[in-house]
Amino acid sequence: MQTTGKRLRGVFLSLFLAIAASITWHDPAWAHEKLHVQWTSNRVLNAVAVADNGRTFVSFPYWGGGGSGPTVAEIDANGQPHAFPDVRWNHPDGTTDDLRPFVRVNALRIGPDGLLWIVDSGDANVGGPPSPHNGAPARLLAFDITTGRVMHAISLRATSTPHSYMDDIRFHGDTVFVTDAGDPALVVVNLSTGAQRRVLAHDRSTTDERPMYAEGHMLVAHGQQVRIHADQLEVSPDGRKLYYQPSSGPMWVVPTAALENPDLSAADLSHAVTLFHDTPTTGGTAIDGDGNLYVSDVNRLSILRITPQGKTGTLIHDRRLIWADAMWIDSHGVLWIPAVQLDRTATFQPDGVSRLRLPVAIYTMDLHLKPVR
């Protein structure tokens, strides 16, 4: 009887641990408890960045819906958006130089220098017709968040092609890395010298070569499978590695030293790239100070956590996480998650009719993560 009792206790213990594990990672009640609505909007946004003093900035892409308003906004203490850095930057005024108002902002984030960096894709459509020859070029803009003054205005015309769509940005020392989601490549900008180079063009690691899926459906636009090339990217906390991927995955990794070496041949740079993880269709990523990557799975409405060793677990699964986009980890270790419903916009609907369910929301999870600065 004692042996039988031990066996039964063992069975019950195993069952209990299995249930506990299920609750920890997958139970919707747990997910709902941890996921909090931080802010909602009747206009589609696609990025959020929070300064160490709590100031919060968001960007609204050209493909969004829900009326007019600023392209870049700061959210005040009462939850109201205000044009940043001012109204002029958010309305065309006929200016045609590098200080023209925003054209098509695709990404924003606060850099290690404390500036608010913005990727303005210019007159370009991801996957659309070639950019007009005399159209506004893509550029990088950096603003002092205290004064609103422009600290950097960097045209990317020299490293763009007619099909480029400059997408997102990360930093390593004096180097800025930019993904080109329209014509697959990475762009490396040296802030000290002003030099910029287009690398890994049409490399297997920057090129979207497989279907994208969201909410159980293949993404199709204009009767063709959607292709979003080099999109998400993150720099490891020690600055030695750049993780990046096309939106459909998988994720690749390359030493930043290789990317920053202008004397390295294209072939040698490509050989320095290795496969890191077979990620799913992804809307956005983040990385914490311990090197863990947070990757949205827009097909399964989940956020994955991938360790530096490549081990994966589901951080949260929640039906509200519809196309979780560019995430942010603030100075208090809170994970910010914009759920922007990109796959429901008219562009990705077979009949061209939007299925957006406004408002969209930014959610937060207080995970006590170690931020990267």
The tens digit of pLDDT for each residue in 202-228 reads 999 999 999 999 999 999 988 889 999
Q: How far is CA 290 from CA 114, 139, 253, 318, in A?
A: 21, 31, 17, 25
Whether residue 30 is predicted with pLDDT greater than 60 in this model: the reply is no
pLDDT tens for residues 84-122?
999 999 998 889 899 999 999 999 999 999 999 999 999
Task: Enumerate residues 6+ apart whose C-beta is below 8 A from 24.
Answer: 30
Per-residue pLDDT, 62: 82
Whether residue 358 is predicted with pLDDT greater than 60 in this model: the reply is yes
Q: For the chain, what percent of residues have pLDDT higher than 90?
A: 80
Whether residue 128 is predicted with pLDDT greater than 80 in this model: the reply is no
What per-residue string of b and e applies to 110-149 under the rule 16 or more CB within 10 Å gives b?
bbeeebbbbbbbbebbbbeeebeeeebbbbbbbbebeeee
Q: State mean pLDDT over 334-343.
A: 97
Q: State mean pLDDT over 186-197.
A: 97
Q: How far is CA 195 from CA 1, 99, 166, 181, 307, in A?
A: 78, 20, 17, 21, 33
Confidence of residue 66 (pLDDT cuts 50, 70, 90): low
Among 28-32, 214-218, 273-277, the range scoring the smallest mean pLDDT is 28-32
pLDDT tens for residues 151-161?
999 999 999 99
Could you give phi then psi for residue 310, rounded to 5 degrees? 90, 10
Whether residue 6 is predicted with pLDDT greater than 50 in this model: the reply is no
Average pLDDT, the chain: 90
Per-residue pLDDT, 32: 62
Per-residue pLDDT, 11: 38
Domain 42-286 grouped into CATH 2.120.10.30: yes
Per-residue pLDDT, 45: 94
Per-residue pLDDT, 65: 64
Higher pLDDT, 26 or 228: 228
Where do the structural domains in the chain lie, given as residue ranges? 42-286
Q: State mean pLDDT over 285-300.
A: 98
Record the pTM: 0.90
Per-residue pLDDT, 88: 96
Q: State mean pLDDT over 351-359.
A: 91
Higher pLDDT, 285 or 352: 285
Whether residue 349 is predicted with pLDDT greater than 90 in this model: the reply is no
Per-residue pLDDT, 259: 98
Closest CA to 294 of 363, 240, 229, 201: 363
Confidence of residue 350 (pLDDT cuts 50, 70, 90): confident
The span from the CA of 107 to the CA of 285, in Å, is: 12
Confidence of residue 373 (pLDDT cuts 50, 70, 90): confident
Q: State mean pLDDT over 79-83.
A: 96
